[in-house]
């Protein structure tokens, strides 16, 4: 499968998302809703996307956005798979059953954003101490130990 066939296949599979999907220069963005996150990742895996580069999250204040970047090494194609999770129920399916590399990445997202991954084999903090309170990369994180930089520096 080459990149043109990949574009046709994805636009056929996700017709409502086709305007959001552009695969110029082998790079694409695929924004799916929360329920189709895992199945979309499974589709990509079956299409030859064999490498998971990273998983991270963005705090959009209203909700969180999960960003996973997958690569098909033979095609030379990269896709950002994105989805949104609500703030009052920050949970999403894990991708560890598709790409084992997701393990520590998802633990880091959990550690810093507080988003839990269903089915993850070892869902706990990875960077911060286990007794840490809160998730520091959230916009509403407060910590009295942080010293704000004065304006004159």
Partner 1 sequence: MALVDRIGKSLTGAPLVLTNVDALIDWSRGQSLWAMPMGTACCAMELIAASFSKFDFDRLGSFPRPDPRHTDVMIVAGTITRRMAPAVKRLWEQMPEPKYCIAMGNCAVSGGIFYYDTYSVVRGVDEFLPVDVYLGGCPPRPEALQDAVLQLRELVRSRSIAEGREYDRDYTLPLPGGDRAGTTDPGRAEAAGVLAGGTPESGDET
Task: Between 70 and 85, name the residue whose CB sits nearer to partner 1.
Answer: 85
Exactly one of 52, 70, 83, 90 binds partner 1 (CB under 8 A); that residue is 90
Nearest to 123 by CA among 84, 113, 44, 12: 113
26 lies in the site for partner 1, by CB under 8 A: no
List of residues 6+ apart from 87 with CB closer than 8 A: 62, 63, 64
Looking at the Cβ atoms of 3 and 128, the one nearer to partner 1 is: 128
Query: Which conformational region is residue 152 in: left (phi greater than 0), alpha (psi within -120 to 50 degrees), or beta?
Result: alpha
Smallest gap from Cβ 92 to partner 1, in A, equals 10
Query: Which of 16, 62, 145, 151 touches partner 1 by CB under 8 A?
Result: 145
- Nearest to partner 1 of 100, 134 (CB atom): 134
CA angle 93, 99, 12 (to 5 degrees): 75
When asked if residue 114 is in the footprint of partner 1 (CB under 8 A), the reply is yes
**Least CB distance to partner 1 at residue 52 (A):** 21
Minimum gap (Å) between residue 44 Cβ and partner 1 = 24
Under the binding rule (CB under 8 A), the answer on residue 24 touching partner 1 is: no
Residue closer to partner 1, measured from CB, 56 or 75: 56
CA distance 43 to 7: 13
DSSP bridge pairs for 86: 63
Q: Name the site residues for partner 1 (rule: CB under 8 A).
A: 88-91, 110-111, 114, 116, 118, 123-125, 127-136, 138, 140-143, 145-149, 153
């Amino acid at each position: 499968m080459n990149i043109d066939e990949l574009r046709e296949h994805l636009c056929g599979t996700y017709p409502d998302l086709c305007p959001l999907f552009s695969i110029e220069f082998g790079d694409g963005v695929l924004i799916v809703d929360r329920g189709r996150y895992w199945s979309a990742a499974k589709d990509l895996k079956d299409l030859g996307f064999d490498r998971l580069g990273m998983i991270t999250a963005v705090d959009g204040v209203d909700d969180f956005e999960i960003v996973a970047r997958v690569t098909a090494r033979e095609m030379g194609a990269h896709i950002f798979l994105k989805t949104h999770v609500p703030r009052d129920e920050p949970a999403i399916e894990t991708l560890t059953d598709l790409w084992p590399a997701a393990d520590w990445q998802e633990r880091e997202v959990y550690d810093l954003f507080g988003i839990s991954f269903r089915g993850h084999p070892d869902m706990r903090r990875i960077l911060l101490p286990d007794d840490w309170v809160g998730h520091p990369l959230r916009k509403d994180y407060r910590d009295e130990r942080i010293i704000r930089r004065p304006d004159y520096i």
